[in-house]
Structure 1
Amino acid sequence: MSSNAPEPPSPTTSPDQYAPAPVKRQLRDMAGPPDTSNWSSSSPLASLALKVAQLPDGPINALCGASAGVASGIVTCPLDVIKTRLQAQGSFRPRKYTGPTRAVYKGLTGTARVIWREDGVRGLYRGLGPMLLGYIPTWAVYMSTYESTKEFLNQRMENKWLARTLASVAAGGCSTLVTNPIWVVKTRLMSQVSARASDDHRPPWHYKNTFDAFRKMYAKEGVASFYSGLSPALLGLTHVAIQFPLYEFLKMKFTGLEMGKTDANMENMHWFGIASATVLSKIVATSATYPHEVLRTRLQTQQRSLPTQSHDHVSFRGGQSGTEYQTRPPGTSSSDGMVNLPRYRGVVRTCAVILHEEGWRAFYNGMGTNMVRAVPAAVTTMMTFESLKMVHQKLKNEGRRLRDEE
């Protein structure tokens, strides 16, 4: 081997991790006395470090993931509202309408102007409550499941890429099943427009807040409404199956470290490498799997209803009485006794309906806005996660050092 060969990446743990205690002390003495000015045995930091050193990695990964998700949700909520409006556009028009589709929302800035004019700042933050409520369990379940599954599979298979892919699918499936009801409510609230909006683009519901949405959906549409769009949501597992293995591959190329790992020098976080890996992996995953998000939004924003014996105003939208709502909800009976079926039924039929009524471009409604939203959200998420993992690793190492000294 050439003497000029580059040095291998810095290890994620200290080189004396598995050495006997006397050897550890000797290595620490050779490296010089550690900076213990803030880590005296009686200080709060020392107590915290000792407690952190005793905690398993699972709850820590869950906490770091939840915190990262909340941070990205607060930063990108307005862009998520704009994306949802663009994705849902065209799904509320009357079924008998045969004229050309009138687009109210046009692009990122055009949609933002419409929302600002009709709803103000509150309109840009519709659905923030369920978004934050959803990010906590979503990323807590995802990160803890992903890390534990990956560690389990790495011990049993040599193909690391396959292990990461399987771990990402398993983690995504668990988090989707747990949090789908919250995301349905978030999508409903974000697609809700003000009283000044056009009737053709008014959804058939009105919710005051998150808990009001849960209550009304359960009372009028049943438990099944909370799992609307579950099939395309599960199709979305292809997104994380691309994003996270690619992120880890790129991070290894750029920094020599896996996700959630830091080198011996805690001050060096490789920010540029982490950001670059996040941006590239998110762009590739989003571009490859975006249509499933439109399918999910259409199914989530379609109101469900049990059949009734009314023959008035049979149409796919409705569910509210009053002069401003001139149609009936899906599932109601027509005058000849035939049930009025929902417009969107299943993934395949929903694809066919959108393609027939709006063309293939509808599958990419809001994609530009989604890119502008998804990339900063991903960067915020991964930067926060990696930073918190660095803090955890530092506390864990100090806790172990203090425990060895005792």
Structure 2
Amino acid sequence: MNPSTAPSSPNKFKFNVFSHVKYEHLVAGVSGGVASTLILHPLDLIKIRFAVNDGRTAAVPQYRGLGSAFTTIFRQEGFRGLYKGVTPNVWGSGSSWGLYFLFYNTIKTFIQGGNSTMPLGPAMHMLAAAESGALTLLLTNPIWVVKTRLCLQCDSSSTTGYRGMMHALAEIYKVEGVRGLYRGFVPGMLGVSHGAVQFMTYEEMKNAYNEYRKLPIDTKLATSEYLAFAAISKLIAAALTYPYQVVRARLQDNHHRYSGTWDCIRQTWRHERFRGFYKGLQASVIRVVPACMITLLVYENVSHFMLAQKKQRELHKEHLEKK
């Protein structure tokens, strides 16, 4: 081997990886996450309250159904009650979607070698989505713990008294340490499968549709097509992976005490059986399907717009340089 060429390999690899990082995906992901969260946060709050209701904890409010939960919260806690936990939810959703799309597209483009028209197939889509989900959760789990705690802070029963997102972060860290900020991390990691299934389904449907139309797989679709593919992929992923969300919410709830993930699963099964793992599913589906549709629609349009603008600037710069 030529010694003069050996040191350049790591640098070339590093350059190739970072050359695929595009901030446009981060901005587009944040935009989609924030938009869907602001519109649909009340449903997320209700879903969490249903998920942690094991029928044995008096501190957790009881609701007869989705409509009952909405009217009860509005009557007892006012309009602001429906938006408890919205600040960490906006931060969490915005940063999670932004980071997820940044990591996902960087990994996907790296695997493709920079050729966005090359199909990856289901296995590689799932791998890229799972890696992106794991990295995103590692960075954002504390925000989701705070969101859960604030959503479950009811005026009539709460003794914690978190005044807001930063106060909750500080209090959880002071009382429970780093472990408190990473409650629910293990089932959250298991839940990486949710994003993997969703994005594999979404990408494969988009690719198959464009191939059917005999167009490149990265061709921009119509609004109705993005919405349809987003809804179908989310429904499939939700049906297959919802139980981890129940376990995760219960571990993050300060009204419950479990020794760990397996203890939570065991107690849920013992007292509530199969139905316990699907509590809040109705509220979740009503919330996550339109949320996913809004998020992906905003993401696709913003990212395509920003990347097209970037390409035009690059072409204009090349044209000026040739003169």
Q: TM-score, normalised by structure 1?
A: 0.68
In the alignment, does 2:212 pair up with 1:248? no
As a proportion of its length, which structure holds more helix?
A: 2
Residues 262-313 of structure 1 show CA distances to partners (whole Å, capped at 9, x for unaligned) of 45xxxxx41121111100000000000000000000000136xxxxxxxxxx
Contact 1:247/1:277 (CA < 8 Å) preserved in 2?
yes
Q: How many residues align?
A: 296
**Which among 32, 57, 65 is matched to residue 107 of structure 1?**
65
Describe how 1:238-387 pairs up with structure 2 within 5 A. Answer: 238-256=193-211, 261-263=218-220, 269-302=221-254, 343-387=257-301
The code of the aligned residue for 2:185 comes to L
Distance 1:117 1:94, change over 3 A: closer
Find the counterpart in structure 2 of residue 124 from structure 1. Answer: 82
- Using the TM superposition, give the Cα deviation of residue 132 of structure 1 relative to its aligned residue in structure 2, in angstroms: 1.2
- Using the TM superposition, give the Cα deviation of residue 400 of structure 1 relative to its aligned residue in structure 2, in angstroms: 3.1
**Which among 152, 172, 176 is matched to residue 217 of structure 1?**
172
- Using the TM superposition, give the Cα deviation of residue 91 of structure 1 relative to its aligned residue in structure 2, in angstroms: 7.2
Contact 2:210/2:219 (CA < 8 Å) preserved in 1?
no
- Using the TM superposition, give the Cα deviation of residue 394 of structure 1 relative to its aligned residue in structure 2, in angstroms: 2.7
Find the counterpart in structure 2 of residue 63 from structure 1. Answer: 27
Indicate the structure (1 or 2) with the bigger Cα radius of gyration: 1
Contact 1:254/1:273 (CA < 8 Å) preserved in 2?
no
Describe how 1:164-203 pairs up with structure 2 within 5 A. Answer: 164-195=125-156, 202-203=157-158
Q: TM-score, normalised by structure 2?
A: 0.85
Distance 1:219 1:103, change over 3 A: closer
SS of alignment partner, residue 62 of structure 2: coil
Describe how 1:130-145 pairs up with structure 2 within 5 A. Answer: 130-145=88-103
Q: Give unmatched runs, 5+ long, in structure 1.
A: 1-54, 96-101, 196-201, 264-268, 304-316, 318-342
Determine the C-alpha separation between the residues in 2 that align with 1:369 and 1:393.
35
Determine the C-alpha separation between the residues in 2 that align with 1:360 and 1:346.
19
Distance 1:164 1:56, change over 3 A: closer
Find the counterpart in structure 2 of residue 314 from structure 1. Answer: none
- Using the TM superposition, give the Cα deviation of residue 94 of structure 1 relative to its aligned residue in structure 2, in angstroms: 6.3
Find the counterpart in structure 2 of residue 390 from structure 1. Answer: 304
Find the counterpart in structure 1 of residue 316 from structure 2. Answer: 402
Residues 14-61 of structure 1 show CA distances to partners (whole Å, capped at 9, x for unaligned) of xxxxxxxxxxxxxxxxxxxxxxxxxxxxxxxxxxxxxxxxx9752111
Q: Give unmatched runs, 5+ long, in structure 2.
A: 1-18
SS of alignment partner, residue 282 of structure 1: helix
Determine the C-alpha separation between the residues in 2 that align with 1:300 and 1:252.
38
Determine the C-alpha separation between the residues in 2 that align with 1:400 and 1:211.
41
Distance 1:109 1:56, change over 3 A: same
Describe how 1:149-164 pairs up with structure 2 within 5 A. Answer: 149-155=107-113, 160-164=121-125
CA RMSD of aligned residues (A): 2.4
Distance 1:363 1:145, change over 3 A: same
- Using the TM superposition, give the Cα deviation of residue 383 of structure 1 relative to its aligned residue in structure 2, in angstroms: 0.5
Contact 1:84/1:297 (CA < 8 Å) preserved in 2?
yes
